[in-house]
Amino acid sequence: MNKTIIPAFRAHVGDWDYFLCLMKYAEVDRAIRFAYELGNNKDLGTMIQRGITARTDEIREYLLNNEHHFLGSLIVASVGGNPTYTPVEMVDNEGLLAEVDREFGVLTFDGSHMFFALDGQHRLKAIKDAITQEQGLRNDDIGVIIVPHYDDAQGRQRTRRLFTNINRYAKATSAQENIALDEDDGFAILTRRFIEEHPYLSTGGVVQVFTKQGAEGELKLAVRNVNVNATAWTTIGVLYDLLRELGFDLDKSMMDKAHRATDQLLDESYAILATRIDELMKACGDVRAKMEAASAIRDVRSPKGKEAEGHPFMRPVVQVAVARALRHLVLEQQELSWDEALRRLSELDWRMASPPWSAVFSEDPTKPGAGKMAAGKGFSELLDSLLLVHVAPGSRAQIQRATKEYRTQKGKRYPMTEDELAARLPAPAPAHS
């Protein structure tokens, strides 16, 4: 039988002994199998296998196309019990390595062991797929944590528990964390640059990055909502979405999250988007000027007892809806130029209870002028539809569908008539004689 020798540190935690090892991709491909192969139920194995296959394309392309590719360690069960561990002592005449060589040695597997990935199965599949296309990857290294597994009833139970515990308590990075850290996604890079360099958005508190959580004041990355009393205009996550929508005609490499655009393209994209953000804030009720002039940002977003007078473009749901509408009208339908679309946006009534913003606002019938935001996907989709017919309706049928949906969702007639909205309809083409 072929022996396998791997450099390793021996370690202990809880009731587990394990080994921290280093392996080449080629060794990983040859030696390590998937956790579903450890079980006896073929149907369950097929289900897991399909899930693995469906989720590895992105990792495989990352390995093949990104020169900075790096993968975290795999956690692997070695079936067949403990391998032979041989301690290695480093020659250290000057005493510089005291305690550094503790539990360092080599593992020897006699050929009777089998390896099964308990954590990192998508990475494992991606490695196996990638090295068939690019032989140079075979010499790349990856950390492997090897946990001895005993192939008896008690051993299988312990390994199954370890598998479920690892996956139950593992936590993927959030979308906000990716925006804060990603060095390949061009729009994540630009989002951070806006927060650091833009003349207004870099002003402290204008873009909310963190929220405080808990009695100890620990920080958490802000999500998509802005508290009514917050001093922020928007959040890091919403700003990222706005930049992606407003960057509708940038070089296609900016849309590739896995491959970093060139520094020149990032600079050019920042300049374009900075201009668009400035022009958009001006067209949308001159929100920046109102924030700068206000003694309290709450008075701009939602003045107490007069929430109906609040500024719609202080609300993330409106910000994203406006950016989506611009992308749709300027790029996808090519109905308006950027300048014309902004001009039409500037003519809207930028008060929260006014149409079309009333799609996401509910007035309090007992208190004139008071109200709150109407939460839910249905209301945000309604706003999308109404915003399009306010800015550039395509037909009377489109107007009728949007106003009918408003009546269904809100239980009342839309504040504007179909004829008023139809004033924006394109002029009919002249008849040919």
For residue 402, give both structure tokens: 């949007």
Indicate whether 429 belongs to any domain. no
Domain that residue 51 falls in: 4-170
pLDDT digits 0-9 by tens, 123-157: 998 999 999 999 999 999 999 998 887 767 777 66
* Same-domain status, 333 and 297: yes
Of 129-138, 163-172, 232-241, 270-279, give the lowest mean pLDDT range. 163-172
Q: Is the pLDDT of residue 369 over 90?
A: no
What are the tens digits of pLDDT across the range 409-427? 999 999 999 999 999 888 7
Residues 29, 86 within the same domain: yes
Q: Are residues 10 and 35 in the same domain?
A: yes
pLDDT digit string, tens, across residues 260-279 = 899 999 999 999 999 999 99
> Taking residues 2-26, what's their average pLDDT?
85
Residues 206 and 153 in one domain: no
> Who has greater pLDDT, 35 or 312?
312
**In the listed set 152, 170, 188, which residue is the last one of a domain according to the structure?**
170
Residues 285 and 225 in one domain: yes
Residue 430 has a pLDDT of: 62
More reliable by pLDDT, 349 or 41: 349
Same domain for 186 and 135: no
pLDDT band, very low/low/confident/very high, at 214 (cuts 50, 70, 90): low
The answer on pLDDT for 42 being more than 60 is no
- 348 and 381 within one domain: yes
**Mean pLDDT, the chain, as a whole number?**
85
Lowest average pLDDT, out of 33-42, 101-110, 333-342, 375-384, goes to: 33-42
Residue 114 has pLDDT above 90, yes or no: no
Q: Do both 214 and 99 map to the same domain? A: no
Is the pTM of the predicted complex or chain greater than 0.75? no
For every residue of the chain, which 3-state class applies, written as one string? Answer: CCCEEEEEEEEEECCEEEEEEEEEHHHHHHHEEEHHHHCCCHHHHHHHHHHHHHCCHHHHHHHHHCCCCCCCCEEEEEECCCCEEEECCCCCCCCCCCCCCCCEEEEEECCCCEEEEEECHHHHHHHHHHHHHCHHHHHCEEEEEEEEECCCHHHHHHHHHHHHHHHHHCCCCCHHHHHHHCCCCHHHHHHHHHHHHCCCCCCCCCEECEEEECCCCEEEECCCCCCCCCCCCEEHHHHHHHHHHHCCCCCHHHHCCCCCCCHHHHHHHHHHHHHHHHHHHHHCCCHHHHHHHCCCHHHHHCCCCCHHHCCHHHCHHHHHHHHHHHHHHHHHCCCCCHHHHHHHHHCCCCCCCCCCHHHHEEECCCCCCCEEECCCHHHHHHHHHHHHHHHCCCCHHHHHHHHHHHHHHHCCCCCCCHHHHHCCCCCCCCCCC
* Burial letters 291-328, b for 16+ CB under 10 A, else e: beeeeebbbbbbbeebbbebbbbbbbbbbbbbbbbbbb
Asked if residue 192 and residue 149 are part of one domain, the reply reads no
Question: What is the per-residue pLDDT for 39?
Answer: 54
For residues 371 and 211, give the distance between their C-alpha atoms in angstroms, rounded to a whole number: 25
Position 193 in a domain: yes
Number of domains in the chain: 2
Q: Are residues 321 and 414 in the same domain?
A: yes
Contacts by 407-410, CB closer than 8 A, 24 or more apart: 409/359, 409/378, 409/379, 409/382, 410/358, 410/359
Of 170, 194, 214, which closes a domain? 170
Of residues 170 and 267, more confidence is placed in 267
Q: Which of 108, 140, 170 is the endpoint of a domain?
A: 170
Residue 36 pLDDT: 62
- Preceding omega of 7 cis (within 30 degrees of 0): no
